[in-house]
Chain A
């Protein structure tokens, strides 16, 4: 625990990638394999579900420190990080446990899950008393699942590769699925990550997916496409689906489904098990899981990619409802059925196809889907356009079709790893976001680097037209991103001067600030006061030119709902 806490402080204290790389290499060189296994898990973004409710942690901290609740709250507001706050107010332990990370997790922390507050009240103080301050902070971050430190998965991959003398692409391949919750990190799995390359590496993979190839955003005007991208005929164009990116892996008579977050999601989509019998062993398909409007209405034509059926996906919000369910009843499977829209073939007949050109992979994929004749596997249609302008025109239908824009894939592109560009490139050509002018009405201080700055805002629109005698501002979205540091400082100082009331950490402010808010999707919602929920809201622009009275109203949002 101590060694990992030291690594955490080192990574946290520097912004230099080289220094981070060196710190990780030094750690891995020293760490016992079972501890390193967990370190890789956390550093590459793995998060066990919360072990102890935050409420219980707070209560315990208040009790042990003997502080009043409000004083704890003031401290938390100044620090901006719960784990750090608790580590600062608890009495510093004279002992410091030498037990390793794996032992702490497996024997001390993971068993806390599901325990009653009474049991936790007995165990937590005893555990905390074994840790020095840095380890205590880390321990609480692990308990709450809020461990985050500025290293990318790529950097972790490089550190392991450098230490083990391996190609980092090989390590990336082995790391896929490592953070999935269904199997714990073990010394054995860690040793496999760094083992020398073996000739039968492929055969060992079981349900392992490939690292996803990711697209880059394309924001140039369409007039420049010819210059930037060359003729349209060099490109394979598809809709950009608003679903869950996934790989369907069929090997050894079993079928696995992996999400883009490298989480095993097989059990959440039981209808995809139908593919178990129709896909041959040694097949890996990359595609998008979407809610399909009416699978029974799909005609034979749908299997013919040359005559694509019109997309009839349902909004992402519906898929989200399904993901949130713990158990999938019959009704929800009937009401919210999913299909895979296949767009790439990564493995065929047990052979890695990623270094074959896009066009060849696509042709093979279409044949495969056609032979397979499954109602849950459809091709993501290829779009045809005479030129870029023609495609731009077709792209305008994106919103009404329920897609986010288009994907452009070079026909000769290989299937790369992550956001690489050296093996070919994929572009996402998204439609402009929705936008409304909204009023800032609540502000809250941020976390981490933004601790003590008012950086998290709630926005509202009017519930009536400008001429109505009595209209109110109705909150509908929260946004944290989109402002420069300089703008944020200015907003922070205005918030401090115009605060009307404080509700705990939240300040209500006099409505004076208008922002253009952008978002990707909009849907009806019973959970929000405004009756509307938006996806990925962020600030596009501070409208210093616009008075509060001229901000948009609920009617504008309702129009966007269509």
Chain B
């Protein structure tokens, strides 16, 4: 029996009568993580992993009807045993394990296999059927160890300080920004953040994640000499806006897995592209799938056709699942071009 099927409202578990990350309002939702394309408003009941509570409430409203489970804690609902396991994607992100009459399915949501210190590291879960994402599902996507990327960012920042330029680093406000704060060398200079980033920093700090002190960029005037030493983290949407004027002569950069390709890097039009992603790269996807021991793999959002064909060549029973995930700005290389 299929424990998860695709329905117009989202991925649905028939025996348990609930949805995983539904894109339309439903009665019962199970949420893998708090990014906008996975956690949406309007559901009557939410179930999520406990470390994600702060973020979910800050994004969806403090009054949502939310129940949480610690990682590994089991909940039995209409004969389906449900538990959350770390996905290593962002704070509170989880894979959902479902067990019913001896059959085990795991829905991964989004995941990353390299531990980064800002959330519980990815943990492979044995199952019969694995539902995987495929955002970076092509062999051209292979990440360098993040320590090398942070060293590159530090070097760029240091270089800018030497020539008296502000360093504006565009990155997504939830997850990527905190990971960068956690990984860079805060002794180089002051760190400023955009108004979209700071509330998430607060939640991370409250969850016990070590982040260096940050200042609110809006508090500074255009000619403040401190800006020329500063690293500024801002969401991509701030680029080209009047908000940027206060930094005067600055160098800009973008941190994303898509920066792996020259074409996307050049279309972004920033000085530097740092290849830093919160998703698994190609070897990461294949490793994670192998670790689950699953014989059947359902592939969602990303390079669905490619990953399905490749897994079939490896002798697995693979098929694509059509979903509405991946339209968050985080997961699309250049929405206005490839839409």
Bound together, the chains give a CA A505 to CA B306 distance in angstroms of: 15
Bound together, the chains give a CA A451 to CA B334 distance in angstroms of: 12
Least CB separation from B270: chain A residue: A13
Q: Which stretch (B20-28, B119-127, B174-182, B258-266) binds chain A? A: B258-266
Quick check: is B336 within 8 A (CB to CB) of the other chain? yes
Q: Known contacts being A13-B271, A71-B306, A451-B261, is A85 close to B140, with CB within 8 Å?
A: yes
Bound together, the chains give a CA A39 to CA B339 distance in angstroms of: 39
Quick check: is A345 within 8 A (CB to CB) of the other chain? no
Bound together, the chains give a CA A75 to CA B262 distance in angstroms of: 14
Q: Known contacts being A71-B139, A74-B138, A78-B140, is A15 close to B269, with CB within 8 Å?
A: yes
Task: Decide if B260 touches A88 in the complex (CB within 8 Å).
Answer: yes
Q: Which of B120-145 contact A (CB under 8 A)?
A: 138-140, 142
Task: Decide if B140 touches A449 in the complex (CB within 8 Å).
Answer: no
Task: Decide if B310 touches A71 in the complex (CB within 8 Å).
Answer: yes
In the assembled complex, how far is the CB of residue B254 from the closest CB belonging to chain A, in whole angstroms?
A: 12
Bound together, the chains give a CA A477 to CA B26 distance in angstroms of: 53
Quick check: is B206 within 8 A (CB to CB) of the other chain? no
Bound together, the chains give a CA A411 to CA B271 distance in angstroms of: 47
B337 surroundings in chain A (CB, below 8 A): 452-453, 489, 492
Quick check: is A89 within 8 A (CB to CB) of the other chain? yes
> How many chain A residues touch B (Cβ–Cβ < 8 Å)?
27
In the assembled complex, how far is the CB of residue A384 from the closest CB belonging to chain B, in whole angstroms?
A: 51
Bound together, the chains give a CA A358 to CA B265 distance in angstroms of: 48
Contacting A67 at CB < 8 Å: which of B139, B261, B266, B267? B139
Least CB separation from A493: chain B residue: B339
Least CB separation from A67: chain B residue: B139
In the assembled complex, how far is the CB of residue A295 from the closest CB belonging to chain B, in whole angstroms?
A: 51
Q: Which of A364-385 contact B (CB under 8 A)?
A: none
Contacting A74 at CB < 8 Å: which of B262, B271, B306? B306
B306 surroundings in chain A (CB, below 8 A): 71, 74
Bound together, the chains give a CA A71 to CA B140 distance in angstroms of: 10
Bound together, the chains give a CA A15 to CA B303 distance in angstroms of: 31
Quick check: is B237 within 8 A (CB to CB) of the other chain? no
Task: Decide if A84 touches B261 in the complex (CB within 8 Å).
Answer: yes
Quick check: is A70 within 8 A (CB to CB) of the other chain? yes
Q: Known contacts being A14-B271, A68-B313, is A449 close to B263, with CB within 8 Å?
A: yes
Least CB separation from A65: chain B residue: B139
Q: Which of A34-85 contact B (CB under 8 A)?
A: 65, 67-68, 70-71, 74-75, 78-81, 84-85
Quick check: is A12 within 8 A (CB to CB) of the other chain? yes
Bound together, the chains give a CA A489 to CA B335 distance in angstroms of: 11
Q: Which of B237-288 contact A (CB under 8 A)?
A: 260-263, 265-267, 269, 271-272
Q: Known contacts being A79-B261, A448-B263, A449-B267, is A70 close to B309, with CB within 8 Å?
A: yes
In the assembled complex, how far is the CB of residue B311 from the closest CB belonging to chain A, in whole angstroms?
A: 12
Least CB separation from B305: chain A residue: A74
B138 surroundings in chain A (CB, below 8 A): 71, 74-75, 78
Bound together, the chains give a CA A45 to CA B96 distance in angstroms of: 56
Q: Which residues of A contact B (CB under 8 A)?
A: 12-15, 65, 67-68, 70-71, 74-75, 78-81, 84-85, 88-89, 448-449, 451-453, 489, 492-493
Q: Which residues of B contact A (CB under 8 A)?
A: 138-140, 142, 260-263, 265-267, 269, 271-272, 303, 306, 309-310, 313, 336-339
Can you list 19 A-B pairs, Cβ within 8 angstroms, ordered by A?
A: A12-B266, A13-B272, A14-B271, A68-B310, A68-B313, A70-B309, A71-B138, A74-B138, A75-B139, A78-B138, A79-B261, A84-B261, A88-B261, A448-B263, A448-B266, A449-B266, A452-B337, A452-B338, A489-B337
A sample of 7 more A-B contacts (CB under 8 A), given A13-B272, A71-B139, A452-B263, is: A13-B271, A74-B306, A81-B262, A88-B140, A89-B140, A448-B263, A492-B337
